[in-house]
Copies of this chain bind each other. A is one copy, B any other.
Amino acid sequence: MDLKGKKIILGSGSPRRRELLAGMNVEFTIDTGNSFEESCDPSTPHEQVPALMSEGKSLGFHRPLEDDEILITSDTMVLCHGDPEHSPILGKPHSREDAVRMLRLLSGREHEVITAVTLRSGDRIETRSDSTIVVFKELTDSEIDYYVDNCKPYDKAGAYGIQEWIGLVGITAIRGSYFNVVGFPTHLVYEMLQAFL
């Protein structure tokens, strides 16, 4: 992709986002220096949380941007209803039990994955979100145990990676962008980047 002399900075430590941006043939550097504290008003509608987080990460970047720089930040949220005792927002699991609880909740249900992306240059900021519905088959306890013990999904919101074993055997269908579920809505990043160049 012709970046017309602009320098792209990816403000995310996620190896999956790095791979996807590289797959788009975009040259970039990584800089995760950030002072943003990930929290927001509990009254915020769930659908707007990733956009607020992504924008917060962008504005919390540790230094001002140069005129020829574009910063890309992103935030992914997993939203699953069905457990009245917990928030429908599934973050990264705190423990083995928490991962098992999340996967039991996702089992045999549809849930929503929302990823927001923010592009920022010296004089401009834009944030957009994409949503994908993901359908899991009924997972057995032994499938959940096998996955958690072997893949240790503690760095993943919702306790799963669609590109891992549980995604291959347990996800029967999605509606929306696959890469959005991986954590980076590439088609949206491409469209936004073209408008920024």
Contact = CB atoms under 8 A, between A and B. Distances in A.
Residue of A164, A169, A187 with most chain B CB atoms under a 10 A cut-off: A169
A178 B178 contact: yes
Contacts of A187: 137, 168-172
Contacts of A107: none
A31 to B, nearest CB: 22
Interface in A121-175: 132, 137, 150, 162, 164-165, 168-175
A89 interface: no
A25 B150 CA distance: 11
Given A137-B187, A187-B137, A20 B175 contact: no
Interface residues of A, number: 25
A9 to B, nearest CB: 19
Q: How many copies does the complex hold?
A: 2
B24 A168 contact: yes
Contacts of A137: 187
Nearest to A137: B187
A178 to B, nearest CB: 4
A186 interface: yes
Contacts of A162: 178
Nearest to A171: B187
Contacts of A175: 173-175
A177 B173 contact: yes
List the 8 closest A-B pairs by CB distance, nearest first. Answer: A168-B186, A169-B190, A178-B178, A173-B176, A172-B187, A175-B175, A24-B168, A23-B168
Interface of A: 20, 23-25, 132, 137, 150, 162, 164-165, 168-179, 186-187, 190
12 contacts: A23-B168, A25-B165, A162-B178, A168-B179, A168-B186, A169-B186, A171-B177, A172-B187, A173-B175, A173-B176, A173-B177, A174-B175
